[in-house]
Structure 1
Amino acid sequence: MRDIKNREDVFTLVSSFYEAVRKHKEIGPFFNETISDWDEHLEKLTDFWESNLFHRAKYKGNPRDAHIGVDQKSGHAVDIKHFGEWLRLWFTTIDRLFTGELAERAKNNARKMSTHLYLEIYKHRPENTQKH
């Protein structure tokens, strides 16, 4: 196996990962009920991870707002266990396809990002935004 080297590798990782996500009984519904154009979404996520791993300014979007929106749309059903499953699938996909410095960076960045996104979701729930 080799490390992640280019956009094609990132696309392979992202598309393989989301193939597993879409079939996952717990987290799949969040994605399948939100994303209507998977081809477009995979390109956008490839831009995100290419930007993230290679420090290229390709991604245009706001993951924080997108995840807060999914939580709101689902009646605030997103839980830390869902992020745990997301990470497990991400790590499994990386380990199946790649090894090396960028593969490890993809794991570490996903770990940090998932923690940040869950905290943002939690912070923006109605019971946590009311002034006391």
Structure 2
Amino acid sequence: MTPNTDITSLEDIKLLVNSFYSKVQEDALIGPIFNEKIMGRWPEHLEKMYRFWQTILLEEHTYTGSPFPPHKQLPVNTQHFDRWMALFTETVDHLFTGKLADDAKLRAQNMAQMFNYKIEYFRNAGRN
């Protein structure tokens, strides 16, 4: 598929989220971590991700909550976030092109860096 349109609708968000998390579930590095954490609740997780990205990218406020706490105790590090980001970027670039597609990648990168930093912070604080 050649990128030809930007992210403009909830249907685009669903395509992005479903495509991305299909790759995540199969990935040798991060798949086992996600699959163990979510434990068969993928439809529920995907619905939450639709609302999250719909709120972030389309400014249609359907997501409520705090995205960090469920990730706080994950056994992940920079390598895992780099892989997550590579899969996300690959998925966006395969499906979309445009301002919101670029914004999705930037926001994902910022989130990955922040989550990685916070996880490391809490992990190190627990050692003291």
1:128 maps to 2:94: no
Q: Which residue, out of 16, 29, 33, partners 1:30?
A: 33
Q: Deviations over 1:42-70 (max 9, x none)?
A: 1110100111102222112322101103x
Q: Which amino acid aligns with 1:52?
A: I
Is 1:93 aligned to residue 91 of structure 2?
yes
Q: Which ranges of structure 2 fall in alignment gaps of 5 or more residues? A: none
| Percent identity of paired positions between Structure 1 and Structure 2 | 40
Which secondary structure does the structure 2 equivalent of 1:33 belong to?
Answer: helix
In the alignment, structure 1 residue 111 sits paired with structure 2 residue 101: no
Q: Deviations over 1:85-130 (max 9, x none)?
A: 00000000001100000000000000101001111111111x3246
2:17 is matched with which residue?
14
Stretches of structure 1 lacking an aligned partner (at least 5 in a row): 72-76
Distance in structure 1 (CA, Å) of the matches to 2:81 and 2:67: 14
Q: Is 1:50 aligned to 2:24, yes or no?
A: no
- Partner SS, residue 41 of structure 1: helix
How many residues in Structure 1 have an aligned counterpart in Structure 2? 124
Runs of 4+ in structure 1 off by over 4 angstroms are none
